[in-house]
Structure 1
Amino acid sequence: MMEGNVLVADDDRAIRTVLSQALTRAGCRVRSTGSATTLWRWIEEGEGDVVVSDVMMPDGDALDLLPAIRKKRPDLPVIVMSAQNTVMTAIRAAEVGAYEYLPKPFDLKEVLGSVAKALTQQTKRRQPPSAGEGPKEENLPLIGRSPAMQDVYRIMARLMNTDLTVMIQGESGTGKELVARALHNFGRRKNGPFVAVNMAAIPRDLIESELFGHERGAFTGASERLQGKFEIAQKGTLFLDEIGDMPPDAQTRLLRVLQEGEYSRVGGREAIRADVRIIAATHQDLRSLINEGRFREDLFYRLNVVPVRLPPLRERLEDVPDLARAFLRRAETEGLPHKAISTEALTILKQQSWSGNVRELENLMRRLAALCPGDVITGQVVEQEIAARPSSALEPSGGPNEKLGASVEAHLRRYFSLHGGALPPPGLYERVIREVELPLIALSLAATQGNQLKAADLLGINRNTLRKKINDLDIPVTRGKKLM
């Protein structure tokens, strides 16, 4: 049971009712309102031990109100909820000192857990800077409103104003450097340099020199002193990409820096203090490399203080339309022609496997913006472009001859491998079925030129069942459209 006074603010009466009833059953005393003005009056009057508020209300923005709340009552925890689930919402919530940020639709147990924690801890929050307007979505450091990305945003929001070492894991093209840059640009070290180093792009015998610098004469060819990336990144952030490719000797030196906070140049004796935040990234399974003796276990634990997993695009296909539109807008700002994209084209894009992830989608949208003859990118244009691409780009990772069952098994094995055997979020069966069902039905409709009766017969299901699945999966149906 919880004890305390909770103020609930949300312009949705149903949400207010659900939260009020749940909190009351848990032992809290609750006052609820649909007005930001009323909420502020209650706070000014000293009411409430915890606030649970929607961000957007008819008469105000809770995030704009938070600085005033922090000034008036710095010890009052404010839990904010929002259906505007972009990374900037999470960042703004962290910047203005929200106790917790919860995306909508929310998990009621999670809300109750956050309230319980706030009531027991009553943690003093730091004095935040004034909240400003967030950038337009096409200028966001990360784009996507899927549940998978919401998990990433929430972790990022909690890391913004810390110096904790972060390990970002994800396949190539998922945006690992974008996450690292966002953590830097919106964090306490934003006025310092951001220095990115790709371990895989540097000759192995030069990595130590690149990272730590060298003195003149330290080795053949060292004709002058060279500053290393640690020195250049002083008071900022050093992003070590593809950390799994770091050679053993450099791993040992990096471990000493993380342990002792200082280093020396190659061939030098002077100890240099390392005032640098480390963010590492990899697409490899570091635990497997540890078992093979190719990566130090003690270094792994030093780097993996806070792990952040970036989902591949195939795990967040609902983000494809937002990403595609944003890439087209970016292409336009770079001088390419303005292009719109049809709903049918977006549906086709959502049916691809995207082995190259977000980077592959971005490259495709740039090419379509440059080469599409019309003002609107149609489904036919997208299909033609996909058909003309190298087959490996959009095929399942096992190749064209791989059985569907083997492909699914390989995908799940990769998931468990990347997560150290940890189970995925609940609902795995429905997610797998949906990913297989959507292209199966869409292609059957295309093969029968949009004839639902023939498509149902082809699939071996009832026509009414097919209609329901078309509606549930939001699949467009165009009569007379051929598969090839």
Structure 2
Amino acid sequence: MSGGRILVTDDDAAIRTVIREALRREGHVVETAASLAEQRRALADFRPQVLVTDVVLPDGNGLEGIDEVRRHDPQLPIIVLSAQNTFTTALRATEQGAFDYLPKPFDLSELSRAVSDALAAGSRHEDVAVPDTAEDLPLIGRSPPMQEVYRTIARVVANDLTILILGESGTGKELVARAIHDFGPRAGAPFVAINMAAIPRELIESELFGHERGAFTGAAQRNAGRFEQAQGGTLFLDEIGDMPAEAQTRLLRVLQSGDYMPVGSARAIRADVRVIAATHQDLNRMIGEGSFREDLYYRLNVVPIPLPALRDRGDDVAELARYFLDRAAADGLPRKTLDAAAAARLAQHGWPGNVRELENLMRRLAALGRDPVIGLSQVEQQFAGAGATAAAGQSLEAANLGDAIEQQLARYIASYGAALPPDGLYDRVLGEVEKPLLKLVLAAVRGNQLRAAKLLGLNRNTLRKKLTERGVGPQVRRPD
């Protein structure tokens, strides 16, 4: 593509120069402006084909100035640059009709691609409503991985594309799903979440699609499934990798046709629902193993949103920690602050439980101790205690499966504290603990099921049943 006319507005002369020279090397004609006033004159005299603008300018806000730009040229593509790298900034840029949003610092190659795309596509304006409470959501962080998450959310909130959120447990998958719902056109309708790992296999279809009275033994009355409850809104299917094969087939049919039938009914119901799914599992591996349908994967994975693990966004830890301390104070716990040494130690931690682990730690620290400032020694004490618990949990020779699950349940209750969920905790722990425990034991005995059953305190047939239910494949067997 031949070059275009690009106007760059930024109050930093060095940034203007770097961008101008980089875009000129790409064959573009570039003019620059240092303020909104200079931008107005350039819009009239230079008539750019793309505007690249900073947010904070000496005589106003670049986002608020977009309305004025639109009156001058309604079709002008606008690329917003900002050092205010928050979730709300990305959303407001989209709300104002920006073609793209790039957080500072940015790669010049990324800016060059955005300019080329803007020249090719022309103007793009999507209807995105940003509530005043946007900053109340703990989508917090200025790290590059989180900036990419913000940008993706901002691009998809205004449409009904199916989304697959990928990430380790505790990274905030449901929070992202809620943000997409709350800031999109379905915000006034229900947001309904269901965790596939917490629902017994034989009840999943009834939970999703509902059932009629008398559809099966015990169905004394009609039940509205989650699709019906979410009508007009968003259905969040958490841990989609744990959905059994039969339910996968029915879900695929709904996504293809848009209709579903409650169990025991011959009447199809139109599903006016946006579907967002999430998993911590490797669905591509599961497809190869035959435990997840490939065609369903492609139906769900229209827009993937990978969430970074907290260990990959260490620069965000202190900001998140202070946010959770403020939330704890709002919930009635003592107000605490974090000193610099404690914040630095938190940033160095590996966070196997991700953001959920950090939130629980902050609530414990807020509840413990009398000092209003949390110091390094308090953080170290908490990490030492958690390490001892983890080491004890790795001793398999003395514990059977039931004992291990009960111990993990007790640890969950202790870690949640005042934030303990009211229902479904045991099922959740069972789903999260049983499968990895089975894998760990089988690996330890090199696939010898007789030894594994003895170690777990199960008979061999029960072990085989659990391996099938949890989708645990054969392990390498040690030669006799």
Question: TM bucket by the smaller chain?
Answer: 0.7 to 0.9
8 Å CA contact 1:195, 1:232 repeated in 2 = yes
The answer for the alignment partner of 1:217 in structure 2 is 214
The answer for the alignment partner of 1:339 in structure 2 is 336
The answer for the alignment partner of 2:462 in structure 1 is none
Is 1:245 the counterpart of 2:242 in the alignment? Answer: yes
Task: Provide the C-alpha distance between the structure 1 equivalents of 2:277 and 2:128, rounded to a whole number of angstroms.
Answer: 28
Task: Provide the C-alpha distance between the structure 1 equivalents of 2:395 and 2:58, rounded to a whole number of angstroms.
Answer: 51
For residues 135 and 294 of structure 1, do their structure 2 counterparts lie closer, same or farther at Cα, with a shift above 3 Å needed? closer
8 Å CA contact 1:96, 1:131 repeated in 2 = no
8 Å CA contact 1:67, 1:131 repeated in 2 = no
The answer for the alignment partner of 2:91 in structure 1 is 91
Is 1:294 the counterpart of 2:291 in the alignment? Answer: yes
Which deviates further from its counterpart, 87-96 or 76-85?
87-96
For residues 72 and 192 of structure 1, do their structure 2 counterparts lie closer, same or farther at Cα, with a shift above 3 Å needed? farther
Task: Provide the C-alpha distance between the structure 2 equivalents of 1:367 and 1:54, rounded to a whole number of angstroms.
Answer: 41
The answer for the alignment partner of 1:40 in structure 2 is 40
For residues 68 and 141 of structure 1, do their structure 2 counterparts lie closer, same or farther at Cα, with a shift above 3 Å needed? farther
| Paired letter, 2:125 | R
The answer for the alignment partner of 1:441 in structure 2 is none
Is 1:309 the counterpart of 2:313 in the alignment? Answer: no
Is 1:195 the counterpart of 2:192 in the alignment? Answer: yes
For residues 28 and 134 of structure 1, do their structure 2 counterparts lie closer, same or farther at Cα, with a shift above 3 Å needed? farther
The answer for the alignment partner of 1:181 in structure 2 is 178
For residues 129 and 364 of structure 1, do their structure 2 counterparts lie closer, same or farther at Cα, with a shift above 3 Å needed? closer
Task: Provide the C-alpha distance between the structure 2 equivalents of 1:240 and 1:132, rounded to a whole number of angstroms.
Answer: 25
Deviation at 1:59, TM superposition (A): 1.3
Alignment deviations for residues 381-425 of structure 1 (CA, whole Å, 9 cap, x no partner): 111122223535599x999xxxxxxxxxxxxxxxxxxxxxxxxxx
Task: Provide the C-alpha distance between the structure 2 equivalents of 1:188 and 1:219, rounded to a whole number of angstroms.
Answer: 37
Deviation at 1:25, TM superposition (A): 2.7
8 Å CA contact 1:97, 1:125 repeated in 2 = yes
Task: Provide the C-alpha distance between the structure 2 equivalents of 1:107 and 1:398, rounded to a whole number of angstroms.
Answer: 48
For residues 18 and 46 of structure 1, do their structure 2 counterparts lie closer, same or farther at Cα, with a shift above 3 Å needed? closer
Deviation at 1:161, TM superposition (A): 0.8
Task: Provide the C-alpha distance between the structure 2 equivalents of 1:348 and 1:275, rounded to a whole number of angstroms.
Answer: 48
| Paired letter, 2:209 | F
Deviation at 1:317, TM superposition (A): 1.2
Q: Superposition pairs for residues 100-179 of structure 1, below 5 Å?
A: 100-122=100-122, 124-126=123-125, 128=127, 135-136=134-135, 139-179=136-176
Q: Tell me the SS of whatever aligns to 2:31.
A: strand
Q: Tell me the SS of whatever aligns to 1:79.
A: strand
The answer for the alignment partner of 2:66 in structure 1 is 66
Q: Superposition pairs for residues 11-30 of structure 1, below 5 Å?
A: 11-30=11-30
Alignment deviations for residues 22-61 of structure 1 (CA, whole Å, 9 cap, x no partner): 2223222222111023213433667211100111112111
Percent identical among aligned pairs is: 58
Is 1:261 the counterpart of 2:258 in the alignment? Answer: yes
| Paired letter, 2:308 | P
Which deviates further from its counterpart, 296-305 or 59-68?
59-68
| Paired letter, 1:107 | D
For residues 173 and 17 of structure 1, do their structure 2 counterparts lie closer, same or farther at Cα, with a shift above 3 Å needed? same
Alignment deviations for residues 202-237 of structure 1 (CA, whole Å, 9 cap, x no partner): 111111011001011000111111111101111111
Is 1:354 the counterpart of 2:347 in the alignment? Answer: no
Deviation at 1:20, TM superposition (A): 1.4
Task: Provide the C-alpha distance between the structure 2 equivalents of 1:192 and 1:135, rounded to a whole number of angstroms.
Answer: 18
The answer for the alignment partner of 2:50 in structure 1 is 50
The answer for the alignment partner of 1:384 in structure 2 is 381
Task: Provide the C-alpha distance between the structure 2 equivalents of 1:222 and 1:232, rounded to a whole number of angstroms.
Answer: 18
For residues 190 and 393 of structure 1, do their structure 2 counterparts lie closer, same or farther at Cα, with a shift above 3 Å needed? farther
Residue number among 354, 361, 369 corresponding to 2:366 in the alignment: 369
Residue number among 309, 326, 330 corresponding to 2:327 in the alignment: 330
Task: Provide the C-alpha distance between the structure 2 equivalents of 1:229 and 1:127, rounded to a whole number of angstroms.
Answer: 29
Task: Provide the C-alpha distance between the structure 2 equivalents of 1:277 and 1:221, rounded to a whole number of angstroms.
Answer: 31
Q: Tell me the SS of whatever aligns to 2:76.
A: coil
For residues 265 and 129 of structure 1, do their structure 2 counterparts lie closer, same or farther at Cα, with a shift above 3 Å needed? closer
8 Å CA contact 1:213, 1:266 repeated in 2 = yes
Alignment deviations for residues 94-151 of structure 1 (CA, whole Å, 9 cap, x no partner): 11111011111111111112112212222x3236568776754xx2341111111112
Task: Provide the C-alpha distance between the structure 2 equivalents of 1:391 and 1:306, rounded to a whole number of angstroms.
Answer: 41
For residues 130 and 361 of structure 1, do their structure 2 counterparts lie closer, same or farther at Cα, with a shift above 3 Å needed? closer
Q: Provide the TM-score with structure 2 as the length reference.
A: 0.78
> CA RMSD for the aligned pairs?
2.3
Task: Provide the C-alpha distance between the structure 2 equivalents of 1:21 and 1:389, rounded to a whole number of angstroms.
Answer: 53
For residues 215 and 127 of structure 1, do their structure 2 counterparts lie closer, same or farther at Cα, with a shift above 3 Å needed? closer
Q: Tell me the SS of whatever aligns to 1:162.
A: coil
Deviation at 1:2, TM superposition (A): 3.6
8 Å CA contact 1:328, 1:338 repeated in 2 = yes
Q: Aligned residues, how many?
A: 396
Task: Provide the C-alpha distance between the structure 2 equivalents of 1:392 and 1:79, rounded to a whole number of angstroms.
Answer: 50
Task: Provide the C-alpha distance between the structure 2 equivalents of 1:385 and 1:162, rounded to a whole number of angstroms.
Answer: 44
Which deviates further from its counterpart, 329-338 or 61-70?
61-70
8 Å CA contact 2:98, 2:125 repeated in 1 = no
Task: Provide the C-alpha distance between the structure 2 equivalents of 1:225 and 1:44, rounded to a whole number of angstroms.
Answer: 65
Task: Provide the C-alpha distance between the structure 1 equivalents of 2:395 and 2:258, rounded to a whole number of angstroms.
Answer: 44
For residues 368 and 296 of structure 1, do their structure 2 counterparts lie closer, same or farther at Cα, with a shift above 3 Å needed? same
Q: Tell me the SS of whatever aligns to 1:389.
A: helix
8 Å CA contact 1:70, 1:97 repeated in 2 = no
Q: Tell me the SS of whatever aligns to 1:80.
A: strand
8 Å CA contact 2:126, 2:158 repeated in 1 = no
For residues 35 and 232 of structure 1, do their structure 2 counterparts lie closer, same or farther at Cα, with a shift above 3 Å needed? same
The answer for the alignment partner of 2:403 in structure 1 is none
